[in-house]
Amino acid sequence: MNRRNFLKNTGCLAIGFSLNTSFIDVPSPMLQELPASIKRHPNIDAWLQVLANGHVRIFTGKLELGQGIGTAISQVAAEELDLSMDLVEIVLADTARTPDEGYTVGSGSIEQSAMAVRFAAAAARQKLLELAAQQLGVPVEQLTMNNGTISTRNGNSSITFNQLLKGKQITDKVQAPVALKAREDYKLVGKAIHRSDINRMARGEQHYIQDLRFPGMVYASIVRPPAYEARLQQLDENALQKSIPGILKTVVNGSFVGVIAQDEYRAIKAQRWLQQHSKWTAGAKLPVGANMISYLKSLPTQNEKVAEKGSIAKDDTAWIKAQYYKPYHMHGSIGPSCALALYENNQLHVWSHSQGIFPLRESLAKLLKLSEEQIQVTGVPGSGCYGHNGADDVAADVALLAMAYPGKHIKLQWTRSDEHGWEPYGSAMIMEPSALLDSAGNITSWQYDMWSDTHSIRPGGDANNLLAAQHYATPLKEKAGFSGGGYRNADPYYTIPNQRVDAHFFKGPLRTSALRSLGAYANIFAIESFMDELAEKAGKDPFTFRLMHLQDERAKAVILKLQDMISTIKPPANTGIGIAFSRYKNSASYCAVAAQVNVQSNDAIQIQKMWAVIDSGEVINLDGLINQTEGGMIQSASWTLMEQVKFDVQHVTSRDWVSYPIMRFNQVPEVEVMVLDHPNEKAMGAGEAAQGPASAAIANAVYKACGKRIRNLPLQA
């Protein structure tokens, strides 16, 4: 159902009005830049509806991935419309109802969607005040707005939003200049408002897609090949039916094998039976036992010059050099990827935790030979995401099965082994920085080379990169991924007169795609570890050395605040404190991190405490910003100390939490976050700001604690 039909069917008709903002001083249209999402979807009713019960319903094309976007967007809308939070409803990511905002990635939900809602709500406020002025016969300046009611300042007259609109909606286009609420009048934005959905999570109530149930629902499982590029040779469906009663349908297309059963137990039992009784070709071999750095550097590469300025000195003897390595990482989603689908009356409805429901719909349309109008994708939060995990793949799996078994809701949840073995990983990377120092300790030249596989094979509207499509009888060939994510933050934010940054992209042995922060995690780990090494060579302390090479005052401020936070701490023996800094993407949030690490007698590394100072511009939800930064540090600590994908000659062997350990609750360090609020600066996302500097801070702390400079991840003293 498209958006227009949805509005009609729910009794929300539309009405157009002209905007008049002369009652308030606003910037020139030439000076006010509208958010990109508003430019793509300029109509106010694309972003909000006034409901008959006095509530306002907000629409966002972004999905809740744990970043608290639902609460932050509700705050922004409630602020501009002078509503209490309980009067704001929010609809997240539904192709039938919400605007198309592409992917929920790159810490962009606040910058894009929240700001779009802010402008739409402010424009709606202007229109509602103008309508009320006409209705009540008073100037706009004599009106106040509170919780869905507009009143005259003398209190003699009032009218509700719904009475003004009479069930219709505001369809005007948002056009600059828009009179945004004055920041000194804020009551909600910038406050620490707790997310209501955490209560449901803590109580174990239905929240995630893994919890979703429908009456009469049936269950499915997928039988994956035993190795990359293995192809199905033999499968006996009749023997399966005899061995496991209750199998509703087996779907086979080349090497794509799916089973539909009356309950999940039978579906999984059938999957295991088929894994034991089907025959496959051997598949591709993996470089087990090889030195991964040497192996990856030996692969053919496509080279790209990322940055170049000044001139690089030719004298090789004076260069200070280092090499760093990051292994393949999993997303490690706590809940395995899951999707539901119903195909009925020539319409397909898919429920998915994909980060991009509109691109997924387009990809499914091409895979299934349907029109996009025949497909609705509804976003539902997944239990863990952190990038392009298996969400799109499992959605394609269940959509194929639903087409083969119409009239029933089908639920497909991958097993833990499927998730670990087939999700696209974060790429292994090699980073080689080198630098020249002058007599005063300044970096005069900088050269940086990095090697990486792709950091995104998101479907992006094509079917080729969906796992099922590659297992078809006539398989689709995977298309090349996005290279730019590999060199994210590869060029240092520091002021260095002569520098060159080069990227070398290979096609590695494992399937890779976007993992939280993409290449920034590894690049910042290398750059900030190297900055500590250079500081020691220059005879400077790590804080002073970084400040020497920064011109941005906001960058200096987060570092100085971090220095102040840890200035009185005196680490005991075998304990050290390391620091690191970055500005995410060199254009988003600033973050400085410190870590206190103890290296025990058995060389075990224990992170005792981590501190962060973050500047994300204007703070929308203080609680959410702190949560994101805390979570980013803890996740980075797990990556840095523990995580790497392992494999044998043909198989990924990291198939459970024993073979792929992640940080457990009793290992989580104490964390402390300080937020620097800049209410007059643009709001920036924070979900990926802390991971990179956290990794380097830990490595630098290990060096302080035991004198070992560890350049390869995971850290092992």
- Give 200's pLDDT tier (boundaries 50, 70, 90): confident
Question: Helices 691-706 and 622-641 sit at what angle, rounded to 10 degrees?
Answer: 50
The residues, ordered by sequence, that sit 6+ positions from 563 with a Cβ below 8 Å of its Cβ are 543
The share of the chain scoring above pLDDT 90, in percent, equals 85
Mean predicted confidence (pLDDT) in 620-639: 96
Phi/psi of residue 218, each to 5°? -115, 170
Tokens at 565, concatenated: 């936070």
- Alpha-helical runs (H) found in 137-222: 161-165, 197-202
pLDDT at 256: 97
* CA pair distance 581, 578, nearest whole angstrom: 11
Q: Count Cβ neighbours within 10 Å for each residue of 47-67 and write b for 16 or more, e otherwise.
A: bbbbbeeebbbbbbbbbbbbb
Element (H, E) at 604: none
**Residue 329, number of CB atoms within 10 A of its CB:** 26
Count how many residues are written for the chain: 717
Q: What per-residue confidence (pLDDT) applies to 16?
A: 37
Mean pLDDT of the 201-210 span: 88
How high is the mean pLDDT of the chain?
93
- pLDDT tens-digit profile of 129-152? 999 999 999 999 999 999 999 999
Does the structure show a pLDDT above 50 at 436?
yes
Phi, psi for residue 502 in degrees, rounded to 5: -125, 140
For residue range 92-103, list pLDDT tens digits in order: 999 999 999 989
pLDDT at 614 > cutoff 90? yes
Q: Which long-range contacts (CB under 8 A, 24 or more apart) does 435-442 make?
A: 435/319, 435/320, 435/530, 435/534, 436/313, 436/318, 436/319, 436/320, 437/320, 437/534, 437/537, 437/538, 441/538, 441/539, 441/540, 441/545, 441/548, 442/538, 442/548, 442/549
pLDDT mean over 570-593: 97
Structure-token pair, residue 168: 């219709």
CATH of range 210-223+232-280+335-422; options 1.20.59.20, 3.30.365.10, 3.40.718.10, 1.10.10.10:
3.30.365.10
| Residues in CB range of 238: below 8 A, 6 or more apart | none
Question: What pLDDT, on the 0 to 100 scale, is given for residue 20?
Answer: 33
pLDDT band at 31 (very low <50, low <70, confident <90, very high): low
Which residues lie closer than 8 Å to 282 by C-beta, 6 or more apart? Answer: 227, 230, 650
**pLDDT in the model for residue 329:** 98
Residue intervals in the chain for CATH 3.30.365.10: 3-189, 210-223+232-280+335-422, 429-706
The structural architecture, per CATH, of the domain 3-189 is 2-Layer Sandwich (3.30)
Residue 110's pLDDT band, with cuts at 50, 70 and 90, is confident
> How many CB atoms are located within 10 Å of the residue 83 CB?
22
pLDDT of residue 198: 85
Residue 593 has what pLDDT? 98
User: What single string gives the DSSP state of each residue in 99-130?
Assistant: -------TT-IIIIIIHHHHHHHHHHHHHHHH
**pLDDT above 80 (res 322):** yes
pLDDT-derived band at 235, boundaries 50, 70, 90? very high
Over range 106-123, report the average pLDDT. 89
Tell me the average pLDDT across 684-709: 96
The structure's pTM equals: 0.93
**Residues 378-401: pLDDT tens digits?**
999 998 878 999 999 999 999 999
Q: In the predicted model, what is the mean pLDDT of residues 237-253?
A: 94
Distance between CA 456 and CA 470 in Å, rounded? 17
Among the listed residues 238, 251, 193, 688, the one whose alpha carbon sits nearest the alpha carbon of residue 426? 688
Instruction: Read off the pLDDT of each residue in 584-594 and give the average, rounded to a whole number.
Output: 97
429-706 CATH choice from 3.30.365.10, 3.30.1370.100, 3.90.1010.10, 2.60.40.10: 3.30.365.10
Least confident of 26-30, 337-341, 350-354, 453-457: 26-30
Phi-psi region of 253 (alpha: psi -120 to 50; beta: other; left: phi over 0): beta
Averaged pLDDT for residues 37-50:
96
Q: Is the pLDDT of residue 275 over 90?
A: yes
* Matching residue, tokens 């810490």: 107
Q: Is 22 exposed, middle or buried (0-12, 13-18, 19+ CB in 10 A)?
A: exposed
Residue 358 confidence class, pLDDT cut points 50, 70, 90: very high
Q: Say what the pLDDT of residue 685 is.
A: 85
CB 441, CB 538: distance < 8 Å: yes
pLDDT digits (tens, 9 = 90+) for 67-78: 888 999 999 999
Average pLDDT over residues 166-182: 93
The CA angle 19-24-30, to the nearest 5 degrees, is: 70
Mean pLDDT of 427-439: 97
Q: What is the pLDDT of residue 384?
A: 82
- Report the pLDDT averaged over residues 160-189: 94
pLDDT for res 14: 37
Q: Phi/psi zone of residue 289: left (φ > 0), alpha (ψ -120 to 50 degrees), beta?
A: left
Instruction: Say how far apart CA 717 and CA 710 lie, in whole Å.
Output: 7
**The predicted structure's pLDDT at residue 18:** 33
- What is 257-276 written as a DSSP string? EEEEESSHHHHHHHHHHHHH
